[in-house]
Chains A and B, each alone.
Chain A
Amino acid sequence: MYEFSYHKVASVADAVAAMSAADDGKYVAGGQTMLPTMKHRLASPSDIIDLGGIAELSGITVAGDTLTIGAMTTHAAVAASAEVQAMIPSLAQLAGNIGDPAVRNRGTIGGSIANNDPAADYPAAVIALGATVHTNKREIAADDFFTGMFETALAEDEIITSIDFPKPLAAAYMKFENPASRYAIVGVCVAKTASEVRVGVTGATTCAHRGQRLEAVLNSDFSSAACDAVEIPLERMNSDIHASAEYRAHLVKVMAKRAVDACA
């Protein structure tokens, strides 16, 4: 890891000021991806601005049918939260299956979605649940947030402050995980609301996305059997040492069916 200047800030405004003063600064949340990336010298920022000291970015609140999770809330805190378990139990379950217990004590929801790893779990849920990402500048709908591999709609100096999740009628996330890293080889989140069914897919392609073919059939027939008729196109599927494109396409359907069954 190359040396850098470290800044611990106490407010979002201080973080933005530190970023604007830096040559090539990076915000760090829990650091569970950032630090390994820097060790590999895949990133060598001039400045690291640690958001860990900003109290206002952590915490979980419920207002009516909206669950709000602060960006710096750890996976362990989401998994253990009575509010999350009551409002969207599948989200608590998702958080409790990221990495391992020690990683969950550091990794955060804001860090995960800002990083947008193609195999991360949270993006599938953010998309399927139709969440809204709040930043220090604006709010961004889930459908507009994830724009490409490790790319999001966030500007360089923009900071996620919290994520709003509307309570669904039912939701479930199923992943076929890599047994070593526990990243999703394929993960599918299905959410049913009064007006529609939404499907979020992660791990399958370069970026988490809506499973629109699955949504189309599930909106008229919400059953796992209905998924059988869906053709998952191969051309955008990832193919690597873990799984071929054909296998991933197959897994998208299998995980979707399991998620639909778990919603029942």
Chain B
Amino acid sequence: MPTVTMNVNGNSVSAEVESRTLLVQFLRESLRLTGTHIGCDTSQCGACVVHVDGKSIKSCTMLAVMADGCDVATIEGLASEGKMHSMQQAFMDNHGLQCGFCTPGMVMSALDIVKRNGHKLDEATVRKELEGNICRCTGYHNIVKSIQAGAKAMGD
């Protein structure tokens, strides 16, 4: 079996995997980082979004072996010293989640949106950028508000 080595949330990890192991399986089952969720497993829903070398990707549609040598960032890497990341805090403050299943992917996509579009986000931009993240509870309204608030807080 191939061995993969990658840097996940700042820690170097190495493990044997099957070639067919998906990155999301590797994160959840080998590393026990279960914050990254599997929603649809068909690259539609975005619950599995993580960052690979700084870019948001759907970890259900990338093989673990493809991420060999890469920097991977997951939801578990955002909080530091017991304090939530500004974007996580914004989701909490704005009631940006109900069941919470989509939230890790939403937050990781939100950070990618801020990276590419800056700290002042209009509603239309956020809604367009969220095309790859599905939420079945909130109706998106408070997610959009959360991302706008989180983006602003990150710039302050």
Q: Is B85 an interface residue (CB 8 A)?
A: no
Q: Contact at B61–A32, with CB atoms within 8 Å?
A: yes
Shortest Cβ distance from residue B57 to the other chain A in the assembled complex, whole angstroms: 5
Question: Given A3-B18, A105-B55, does the pair A100, B62 have CB atoms closer than 8 Å?
Answer: no
B12 in contact (CB, < 8 A) = no
Q: Of B38-46, B73-81, B92-100, B145-153, which binds chain A? A: B38-46
Q: Which residues of A contact B49 (CB under 8 A)?
A: 102
Q: Is B68 touching A35 in the complex (CB atoms < 8 A)? A: no
Q: Is A50 an interface residue (CB 8 A)?
A: yes
Determine if B65 and A35 form an interchain contact, defined as CB atoms under 8 angstroms apart.
Answer: no
A39-B41, A99-B132 given as contacts; is B66 within 8 A of A50 (CB)?
yes
Contact with A along B99-114 (1 / 0, CB 8 A): 0000000000100110
* The residue from B19, B42, B66, B116 contacting A3, defined by CB atoms under 8 A apart: B19
Q: For the complex, is A187 an interface residue (Cβ under 8 Å from B)?
A: no
Contact indicator B63/A102 (Cβ below 8 Å):
no
Q: Which of A96-148 contact B (CB under 8 A)?
A: 99-103, 105-106
Kindly provide the distance from the CB of A264 to the nearest chain B CB, expressed in whole angstroms: 25
Assess the B63–A101 pair: CB atoms within 8 A.
no
Contact B131 A182 (CB under 8 A): yes
**A105, B20: Cβ atoms closer than 8 Å:** no
In angstroms, how far is the closest chain B Cβ from the Cβ of A207?
Answer: 24
Pair A100/B57 contact, Cβ less than 8 Å: no
Residue of A nearest to B1 (CB): A3
Within 8 A of A (CB), among B118-149: 129, 131-133
CA distance A181 to B49 in the complex (A): 17
Q: Given the complex of chains A and B, what is the CA–CA distance between A31 and B62 in angstroms? A: 7
Provide the main secondary structure of the chain B interface. mixed
Complex contact A6–B2 (CB within 8 A) = yes
- CB-CB < 8 A to A80: which residues of B? 116
**Cβ contact within 8 Å between B43 and A3:** no
Q: Is B56 an interface residue (CB 8 A)?
A: yes
Q: Is A91 an interface residue (CB 8 A)?
A: no
Residues of A within 8 A of B58 (CB): 102-103, 106
Q: Who on chain A is nearest to B41 by CB?
A: A39
Query: How far does the Cβ of A108 sit from chain B's closest Cβ, in whole Å?
Result: 13
What's the minimum C-beta distance from B90 to chain A, rounded to whole angstroms? 19
A106–B19 CA distance with the chains assembled, in angstroms:
18
Residue numbers in A under 8 Å from B55 (CB-CB): 76, 105
The interface residues of chain B lying within 8 Å CB-to-CB of A102 are: 43, 46, 49, 56-58, 109, 112, 132
Contact mask A1-40 → B, CB, 8 Å, 1/0? 1111110100000000000000000000001100110110
**Contact among B44, B61, B68 for A31, CB-based, below 8 A:** B61
Minimum C-beta distance from B132 to chain A (A):
3
- Residues of the A chain whose Cβ atoms lie less than 8 Å from the Cβ of B112: 101-102
Instruction: Let me know if A48 is at the binding interface, CB within 8 A.
Output: yes
With an 8 A cutoff between CB atoms, is A52 at the interface?
A: yes
Question: Which of B19, B43, B46, B56 makes the CB contact (< 8 A) with A48?
Answer: B19
CA distance A38 to B133 in the complex (A): 23
Q: B residues touching A (Cβ–Cβ < 8 Å)?
A: 2, 18-20, 22, 41-44, 46, 49, 55-58, 61-63, 65-66, 68, 109, 112-113, 116, 129, 131-133
Offer 19 A-B interface pairs, CB within 8 angstroms, sorted by A: A3-B20, A4-B20, A6-B63, A6-B65, A8-B65, A31-B61, A31-B62, A35-B22, A35-B61, A35-B63, A39-B41, A50-B65, A80-B116, A99-B132, A100-B46, A100-B131, A102-B109, A105-B57, A182-B131
Interface positions of A (Cβ within 8 A of B): 1-6, 8, 31-32, 35-36, 38-39, 48, 50, 52, 76, 80, 99-103, 105-106, 180-182
> 6 other contacts beyond A105-B56, A105-B57, with CB at 8 A cut-off?
A2-B20, A31-B62, A38-B20, A39-B42, A99-B43, A106-B58
7 closest Cβ pairs, A-B complex: A100-B132, A6-B19, A105-B55, A100-B131, A1-B20, A102-B56, A102-B58
